[in-house]
Amino acid sequence: MLGQTWQGRQWLKGIDPTLASQMVQIGHQDFYIFEPAKLADGTVVMPVCWFTQSLGSASQAQQKLWAEVWWLQPVSTDEGHRGYVVHEYDMVEVPIHSFLLSMPQLVQTFASDNLPDPRDIIGASNYMLSIL
Label residue 53 by pLDDT band (50, 70, 90).
confident
Label residue 132 by pLDDT band (50, 70, 90).
very low
Output the pLDDT for position 129: 53
Q: What percent of the chain has pLDDT over 90?
A: 58
The yes-or-no verdict on residue 95 having pLDDT over 90 is yes
Contact residues for 93 (Cβ-Cβ < 8 A; gap 6+): 66, 67, 68, 69
The yes-or-no verdict on residue 16 having pLDDT over 80 is no
Q: What is the DSSP letter of 59?
A: G
Closest CA to 26 of 13, 37, 15, 14: 37
Alpha carbon 34 to its chain's center: 8
Closest CA to 96 of 47, 129, 61: 47
Mean pLDDT of 95-110: 97
State which amino acid sits at residue 67. A
Bridge partner list, 37: 45
